[in-house]
């Protein structure tokens, strides 16, 4: 399977990746609301446990709502997507360790990690929108650390950006 064919197959099966961005955006927004209304530790737990549900829920949405099937086997880009999950695990560990002394940095560090992973998704899906999304999330996270922006605002902003991007990807896919 050539790269272009593998990318088309991934776009077809995963609705351009929009279902995953949608679920991720919801998780980030909920984590931001929990942080705002409860505390940062509850928000951190919400992001952690909600993050574990992103892939299964996005596959469910792709299959049930958009009537998409699995990617054709063997699609090497599926393995690249799975391997890039290591970025998220490493980022979460770093964010958790740093949060012991700088708890306001937890969400920005995780957002940096998510943005970096989206840079890889540009190759997986063959869509430049992932490059734009990744750079925007990285910039938001960097400014949040630099300017000391509140954790809830960082989570809500990251979630809002992802939800907007998901709409750009999912609305045309429904036609």
Integer Cα distance of 44 and 42 in angstroms: 5
pLDDT tens by residue, 15-68: 999 999 999 999 999 999 999 999 999 999 999 999 999 999 999 999 999 888
Integer Cα distance of 78 and 106 in angstroms: 29
Residue 174 confidence (pLDDT): 64
Q: Per-residue pLDDT for 131 more than 60?
A: yes
pTM reported for the whole predicted model: 0.93
Q: Per-residue pLDDT for 78 more than 90?
A: no
Q: At what angle do helices 85-99 and 106-125 cross, to 10 degrees?
A: 170
Q: Per-residue pLDDT for 96 more than 90?
A: yes
Integer Cα distance of 63 and 70 in angstroms: 8
The string of DSSP codes covering the chain is --HHHHHHHHHHHTGGGHHHHHHHHHHHHHHHHHHHHT-HHHHHHHHHHHHHHHHHHHHHHHHHTS---PPPSS-HHHHHHHHTHHHHHHHHHHHHHHHTT-GGGHHHHHHHHHHHHHHHHHHHH--HHHHHHHHHHHHHHHHHHHHT--HHHHHHHHHHHHHHHHHHHHHHHH-
């Amino acid at each position: 399977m050539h790269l272009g064919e593998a990318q088309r197959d991934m776009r077809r099966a995963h609705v351009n990746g929009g279902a995953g961005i949608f679920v991720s955006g919801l998780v980030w927004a909920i984590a931001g609301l929990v942080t705002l209304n409860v505390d940062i530790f509850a928000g951190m737990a919400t992001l952690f446990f909600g993050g574990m549900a992103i892939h299964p829920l996005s596959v469910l949405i792709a299959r049930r709502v958009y009537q998409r099937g699995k990617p054709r086997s063997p699609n090497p880009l599926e393995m690249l997507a799975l391997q890039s999950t290591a970025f998220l695990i490493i980022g979460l560990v770093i964010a958790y360790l740093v949060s012991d002394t700088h708890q306001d940095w937890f969400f920005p560090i995780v957002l940096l990690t998510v943005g970096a992973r989206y840079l890889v998704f540009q190759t997986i899906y063959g869509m430049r929108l992932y490059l734009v999304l990744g750079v925007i999330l990285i910039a938001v996270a960097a400014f949040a650390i630099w300017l000391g922006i509140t954790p809830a605002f960082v989570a809500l902003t990251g979630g809002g950006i992802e939800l907007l991007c998901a709409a750009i990807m999912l609305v045309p896919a429904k036609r």
